[in-house]
Amino acid sequence: MSDGQASRREPSALAPVGGPLLSLALAALMEDVHAHSGAVYLLAPDEPVLEMAVMAGLPRAFAAPWERVGLSAPLPVAEAVRERRLVWVNGEEQMAGRYPRVAVVLPYSFALAALPLACADTVYGALFVTWPDSHPPELSSRERDQLGVACDRLATRLAHAVEKGHPVGPEPDLPTPGATAAMAGTLGAGEAVRMAARLPYGLCALDLHGRVGYANAAACELLGMPVGDLLGAQLWASLPWLNDPAYEDCYRAALISQHVTSFVALRPPGDWLSFRLYPSTNGLSVRISRARAVSAMARAEPRHGEATTRLVTISHVLSLAGALTEAVGVQDVVQLIASEFAPTVGSQALILLGSRGGRLRVLGHRGYPDAAIAERFDGEPLTAQIPGAHVLTSGVPAFFESRRQLEHLYPARRTTPDGMAAWAFLPLIASGRPVGTCVLAYAEPHAFPADERAILTSLSGLIALALERALLYDAKHQLAHGLQAALLPHSLPSLPGIEAAARYLPATQGMEIGGDFYDLVATVGRAAAVIGDVQGHNVTAAGLMGQIRTAVRAYTTVGQAPGQVMRSTNRLMIDLGTDLFASCVYLRLDPARQRVVMARAGHPPPLLRKPDGQVRVLDLAGGPLLGIDADATYTTTEFALAPGSVLALYTDGLIESPGIDIEDALAELGERLAESGDEPLDELADRLVRHTATAEERLDDIALLLLRARAS
């Protein structure tokens, strides 16, 4: 693996050697580090997805949203693979801060370690193990060593299996290792049953899946259910009045956190029962008694006769909902569906469709090796006899388990194969109106049972809301930056003796218009360069920026001196009655005399790189910000500009970053200018903004204007 990308393995690359390789390795590791649950993932063939191969210690349903995990997903196992390191999460608070999607679905106290399964430059998968929150906040050196050695050993065996050409696939899930051994010699089974039968309160034993393995007579009496109907069934499945996700959540909380949990439930018509769950790594013991002072608990009665969403459905909804809250633009929504939603439901490709002007628009797609396959639907009329258009206009989902089903209803698809074998077309309806269609494609024929169709349809509602927000954001974003671009010069004039280059980068956070500006104005025998920053990120700031830029041009054209240009612009801002301020640097360039006159109004100082490579910060005298004092004066300074010298004018967004001292940032900018100042000016401009241009979170706009003096 290089640059954070895991290498792929062929479908028949891994092999168990002499038995269930993954299960045995996971069981041994959990026993060594005293973990109470864990899972092993394998890298899927031909796609950047981790697939759960075996789980131990907890029901797989607990990890349902993460049975298939995209490598780009913000989840511990994916991060462990991307960064080729151990990922440690020491409890509920840290999980919520670093991996909120996991915390939303599993809001319980537990610690987790995730590690990659890798050899040399090849990654085969990952694993994680968990502990109750009683685990110390840090892994011990012994635990780290054992985790590392176990993963290296398993990766080596997987590499050996690659050489043999044997496949490795999913293996049966395991109960917690050593559970039976832990019970040996404690109490005879017959005596335990007789003891429990004599107790006046109810006792039940549940396995890891919540199934009843034992119930004493008092428990059967309190629950109103014969023992034969209880054994082998889940409590909430056997008793309608316990069929409430809140009660099931207590069972999950007890198993994951290994803490005692309790709840109170109403057995119709009026008997309140108290349930106290005592967990261990191999199941739970439940104590049942009549509840007291129930009214003080204000426990609402479960509603009967309503269908209750099962655990897997709730988990998927919570996971996707948490992911979609992070989506900003349409492409964010597409990427989240591809990395979070599609892998979970087993889809290999997707297309997100919208509409404009009565025609389909392809908003994004993933998973198709040839982009033309997905983009051929762009521009199709909404009246076209294709499922994407029909689902969007009708609002009714469509599921096709095979190509034959699809082509039977839509014969035109015979002429446009996409290499897929099954499809789910989900209408995206927000605020009562259709906003698009989500097309999930499957490489193999795929059955869509009723419960899966219900899940897909429910989740499409969340996607629709996120898409509606994203479409609105993108529209406003394009409008804002279109206006911003219109207020800046489209090109820089060609000046005798002066070479110029400029860059403008909008902020990456928010969609407001910025107030940064620059300009280069040619006059007879001279030139004027200006750069500035109006306070704020809104239409008012942008409008004022346009007025300042126009005013500076006008004052320059009529021949005002640099200090007078600043005074006139300052007076204009005060006359406009605005509450905003602006910083500015104004230069009058005289290439023939190799001289520059500068006036500065509270703006970061320009940098001057001399022909010998030395860089000077022009922190010269100036005046206050524009728009503060009507009587302000602006001192001017004249300095030499020898041929080969470079002037760098910039706004504060280039040197201001959270947590970085501005003096250090300015010094770093000067070093880059010194090292690369002899490069062509456009390349130099790109180099100076490159570290900021690639930042995911840029809080402020950036304007940069470079000027190089040439020999006449």
Cβ atoms of 232 and 250 closer than 8 Å: no
Dihedral sign (CA 172, 178, 181, 182): negative
316 domain-assigned: no
Residue 354 belongs to domain with CATH number? 3.30.450.40
Q: Which residues contact 483 (CB under 8 A, 6 or more apart)?
A: 513, 539, 542
Between CA 359 and CA 377 the distance in angstroms is 9
Between CA 571 and CA 548 the distance in angstroms is 11
Boundary of a domain, candidates 416, 448, 479: 479
How many domains does the chain fold into?
4
Q: Is 525 exposed, middle or buried (0-12, 13-18, 19+ CB in 10 A)?
A: exposed
| Structure tokens belonging to residue 393 | 């206009």
- Please tell me whether residues 542 and 664 are part of one structural domain: yes
Between CA 425 and CA 551 the distance in angstroms is 56
Q: What pLDDT is recorded for position 315?
A: 61
- Please tell me whether residues 662 and 697 are part of one structural domain: yes
Q: Is 325 exposed, middle or buried (0-12, 13-18, 19+ CB in 10 A)?
A: middle
**Cα 67 to the chain's mean position, in Å?**
18
**Strand order from edge to edge, sheet including 68-70:** 68-70, 49-56, 37-43, 122-132, 110-119, 87-89
SS3 of the chain: helix, strand, coil, percent, to 5: 40, 25, 35
Boundary of a domain, candidates 451, 479, 507: 479
Q: How many C-beta neighbours within 10 Å does residue 417 have? A: 10
Distances (CA, A) of 165 to 1, 3, 49: 21, 27, 21
- Please tell me whether residues 475 and 495 are part of one structural domain: no
- Please tell me whether residues 455 and 502 are part of one structural domain: no
185 domain-assigned: no
HSE value, Cβ hemisphere, 13 Å, CA-based, for 645: 20
| Structure tokens belonging to residue 482 | 């279109």
**Strand order from edge to edge, sheet including 271-280:** 212-215, 202-206, 283-290, 271-280, 261-267
Q: Is 79 exposed, middle or buried (0-12, 13-18, 19+ CB in 10 A)?
A: buried
Strand positions, DSSP E, 281-331: 283-290
- Mapped onto helix, strand or coil, the DSSP state of residue 336 is helix
Q: What's the whole-model pTM score?
A: 0.50
pLDDT in tens, 197-223: 777 788 999 988 888 988 888 898 899
Q: Which residues contact 499 (CB under 8 A, 6 or more apart)?
A: 681, 707, 708, 710
- Mapped onto helix, strand or coil, the DSSP state of residue 540 is helix
Q: Are strands 110-119 and 122-132 parallel, antiparallel or unpaired?
A: antiparallel
- Continuous segment of H or E residues that includes residue 499: strand 498-505
Residue 555 belongs to domain with CATH number? 3.60.40.10
Boundary of a domain, candidates 455, 479, 503: 479
- Please tell me whether residues 473 and 507 are part of one structural domain: no
Between CA 39 and CA 472 the distance in angstroms is 41
- Please tell me whether residues 52 and 139 are part of one structural domain: yes
- Please tell me whether residues 506 and 612 are part of one structural domain: yes
Q: What pLDDT is recorded for position 11?
A: 36
Distances (CA, A) of 366 to 61, 343, 375: 27, 12, 11
361 domain-assigned: yes
645 domain-assigned: yes
- Please tell me whether residues 493 and 464 are part of one structural domain: no
Residue whose token pair is 């096709």: 400
Of 221, 246, 210, 247, the residue nearest 61 (C-alpha): 210
613 domain-assigned: yes
Residue 284 belongs to domain with CATH number? 3.30.450.20
Give the bridge partners for 639, in sequence order: 596
- Please tell me whether residues 508 and 377 are part of one structural domain: no
- Please tell me whether residues 471 and 509 are part of one structural domain: no
321 domain-assigned: no
The DSSP letter of residue 645 is -
600 domain-assigned: yes
Preceding peptide of 493 cis, ω within 30°: no
Between CA 391 and CA 107 the distance in angstroms is 37
Phi, psi for 23 (deg, rounded to 5):
-60, -45
Q: What pLDDT is recorded for position 189?
A: 58
Of 605, 606, 600, the residue nearest 625 (C-alpha): 600
Residue whose token pair is 């001279």: 526
| Structure tokens belonging to residue 351 | 């297309």
pLDDT in tens, 589-629: 998 899 999 999 999 999 999 999 999 999 888 899 999 99
Low-confidence ranges of the chain (pLDDT < 50): 1-18, 178-187, 293-312, 511, 695
- Please tell me whether residues 453 and 538 are part of one structural domain: no
Structural domain boundaries enclosing 254: 198-289
- Please tell me whether residues 666 and 520 are part of one structural domain: yes
9 domain-assigned: no
